[in-house]
């Protein structure tokens, strides 16, 4: 699986730990149609996670900004991971109000999906 570079966004793939697929977001996610780029990338990550029985760990702490279209792509990815029984851990910067608000809303939005049999999604605020 390759790193993703698109416009101002970089997602670095870290496969250095067995059982873990690390995806570290950097820069700005401001694409007009992020699903076109992120969709295939997320599919690759989910396929690899299923093949290797790994969980996916996403790091957003160094992401400067993401638009609502990217947020839509992220929540669809998390929902897809849930239905494909892949665990997801999301790290975000607790000190930044914008990230705190964004991920708090995502966490709340995903609550009803938790009761359905699937995987777990954890949100970990990182103090910086």
Residues that bind other proteins (CB under 8 A): 7-8, 28, 30, 32-33, 35-36, 39, 65, 67-69, 71-73, 75-76, 78-80, 96-98, 101-102, 105-106, 108-110, 112-113
- Between 1 and 101, whose beta carbon lies closer to other proteins? 101
Instruction: Tell the smallest beta-carbon distance from residue 30 to other proteins (Å).
Output: 5
Closest by Cα among 83, 70, 93 to 120: 83
Separation between Cα atoms, residue 70 and residue 51, nearest integer Å: 26
Instruction: Tell the smallest beta-carbon distance from residue 17 to other proteins (Å).
Output: 28
Instruction: Give the Cβ contact number of residue 7 at 10 Å.
Output: 13
């Amino acid at each position: 699986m390759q790193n993703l570079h698109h416009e101002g966004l970089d997602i670095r793939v870290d496969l250095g730990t067995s059982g873990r697929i690390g995806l570290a977001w950097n820069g700005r996610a401001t694409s007009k149609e992020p699903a076109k780029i992120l969709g295939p990338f997320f599919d690759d990550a989910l396929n690899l996670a299923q093949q290797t029985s790994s969980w996916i760990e996403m790091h957003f702490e160094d992401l400067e900004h993401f638009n609502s279209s990217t947020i839509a792509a992220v929540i669809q990815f998390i929902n897809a991971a849930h239905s494909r029984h892949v665990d997801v851990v999301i790290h975000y910067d607790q000190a930044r109000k914008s990230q705190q608000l964004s991920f708090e809303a995502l966490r709340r939005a995903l609550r009803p999906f938790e009761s359905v049999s699937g995987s777990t999604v954890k949100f970990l605020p990182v103090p910086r």
